[in-house]
Structure 1
Amino acid sequence: MIETIQALDISLFKFVNEFAGTNEHLDRIILFIANNYLIKGIPFWMLWWSFWFSRDSDRVQVRAKLLAMMAISIVAILVGRLLSAVLPYRLRPMHDPAVESILPINIDPLTLNQWSSMPSDTSVLFFSFATSIFLLNRRLGALMMGYTALLICLPRVYAGFHFPSDIIVGTAIGILISLTLMKPLSKLVLRLRLLTLEDHYPALFYPLVFLISLESATMFDSARAFVAEAYKFAKFVMI
């Protein structure tokens, strides 16, 4: 059974990956889409800010869910990275000689070679986003799920960053995180009266929200780099 699933996984990967390396312009466009945050994270946060300033009659409930969504994004990236670290290491298709993947033209063959392929933290994060939006607005949420699948996840399979199963598992985790946490976190926001911070401390509230939304939109790359460098510095000082 496991061998059958693995064979299907590789077959699906090769079906998508076989178009790589055939046209330099196509490869450049796909890699641009796969790596650019204006396409990945920014659209989700543009929607977030649009919801925040909407004149919805149930504004308090909407804003509570939006703050819950912000917390969910932090949980999602932490869970994605934690699972990638604790689960058995899996080579990415582009680094697995047994798969014989086709590399896009001009891509660095060492790209992401330090990270395990399973699960895709990208799909964990952005499907948790899409699910959170679905819980706010079903039509927009369904649209963003399709957007995530086609413009965020599929290019990563094309480029050899992930197997389809990495994406599927990450998708399931992201959806589960959002469905599990949205309601209790929204209630917690209301119980702790966190929304009153906007009225009482706007000069603190909005810069903090901006910082978290920026980091979330860029998959916390700057925050992760900061933590990594701080850890290295701490180890150096303790020697």
Structure 2
Amino acid sequence: MLEALQTADLRISLFINSFLGSSPGFDAFVHILERNSLFKGLVVMMLFWGLWFSANRESRLFQARLLSVLVVSVLAVFAGRGLATLMPYRPRPIHDPELGFRLLPGLSNETLDGWSSMPSDHAVLYFAIATGFFLAHRAVGIAALLHAALIICLPRIYFGLHYTSDVLVGAAIGVGMAMLLVPLLTRGFLRLDVTTLAKSHATLFYPLVFFATWQIASMFGPLRDLLHSLAAMFI
């Protein structure tokens, strides 16, 4: 059974990747979508701020849910990266030339070498955010789910950065985290009346939330770079 699932996973991934090279212009366009944070994290964080200042902005429940989505997003970043580190190492499709995956010019078998493929941390993060949005606002949630599937995850299979199963497992983890944690955190924020505290300390609250949304949009890249630099200096 497991072997059959692995075979199906490989075939689906190879099928998606097989279109690579058919249109250089399309490949370049998809590569921009896959690499540029303007089309990735910035999109969902713009949705967050749009919801925050929407017609429901005076609703304590609505704002508590959005704050919960933000916290779950931070947890999802670390969960995705942590699971990829703790789970058995799985080479990415492009790391095995014998599989026959097509490579985009500029990528090589050494791209992301040493970074495990399972699960997709991108899928964990963006499906957690999208599910959280869905719990707060269904229309925005559906748009975010489509964005997570088509803009975030599909290009990573297309370029051989992940198997289909990596994305599906990551998506399931993200959805599960949001479904479990957003309601729990929302109730906690309502009990603590966090939204009222936020309003009374707006000069501190909004800079902190802006910082969080910026870091989530970049998957904490600037902060990780800083920590690595500091570690190299003092260790």
Q: Same fold (TM over 0.5)?
A: yes
Contact 2:51–2:57 under 8 Å retained in 1: no
d(CA) in 2 for partners of 1:151, 1:16:
14
- Alpha-carbon RMSD across the aligned residues, in angstroms, is 1.5
Identity over aligned pairs, percent: 38
After superposition, residues 4-19 of structure 1 pair within 5 angstroms as: 4-19=4-19
| Structure 2 runs not aligned, ≥5 long | none
CA distance in 2, matches of 1:205, 1:86: 34
1:56 CA drift (Å) = 1.9
- Using the TM superposition, name which of 216-225 and 3-12 deviates more: 216-225
| 1:69 equivalent in alignment to 2:49 | no
Q: Normalised by the size of structure 2, how large is the TM-score? A: 0.94
* Alpha-carbon contact 2:96-2:109 (below 8 Å) kept: no
Aligned residue for 2:56?
56
Q: 1:89 and 2:89 equivalent?
A: yes
Quick one: structure 1 residues 233 and 194, their matched pair in 2 at CA, closer, same or farther if it must change by over 3 Å?
Answer: farther
Structure 2 equivalent of residue 170 of structure 1: 170
Shift in Å, 1:54: 1.6
1:204 aligns with 2:186: no
Q: Distance in 1 between matches of 2:196 and 2:231?
A: 35
Contact 1:80 1:121 in 2 (8 A): yes
Partner of 2:153: 153
Q: 1:76·1:174 contact (CA, 8 Å) conserved in 2?
A: yes
* 3-state secondary structure, aligned to 2:98: coil
The CA distance in 2 between the partners of 1:48 and 1:159, in whole Å, is 29
Contact 1:27 1:105 in 2 (8 A): no
CA contact (8 A) 1:134 1:142 kept: yes
Question: What are structure 1's unaligned runs of at least 5 residues?
Answer: none
In structure 2, distance between residues paired with 1:199 and 1:142: 29
Q: Determine the structure 1 residue equivalent to 2:122.
A: 122
SS of structure 2 residue aligned to 1:151:
helix
- CA distance in 1: counterparts of 2:205 and 2:146, whole angstroms: 32
Aligned partners of 1:126, 1:58: CA distance in 2, in Å?
A: 26
Distance 2:161 2:57 in 1: 43
Q: CA deviation at 1:229?
A: 2.6
Moved more, 45-54 or 221-230: 221-230
- Provide TM-score, normalisation by structure 1: 0.93
Structure 2 distance, partners of 1:42, 1:123, is 16
Tell me how far 1:78 sits from its aligned partner.
0.8
Q: Which amino acid aligns with 2:174?
A: G
Residue in structure 1 matched with residue 190 of structure 2 by the alignment: 190
Residue identity opposite 2:14 in structure 1 = K
> Which residue of the partner structure matches residue 36 of structure 1?
36
SS in 2 for 1:98: helix
User: Which residue does the alignment assign to 1:27?
Assistant: 27
- Deviation of the 1:58 alpha carbon: 6.1
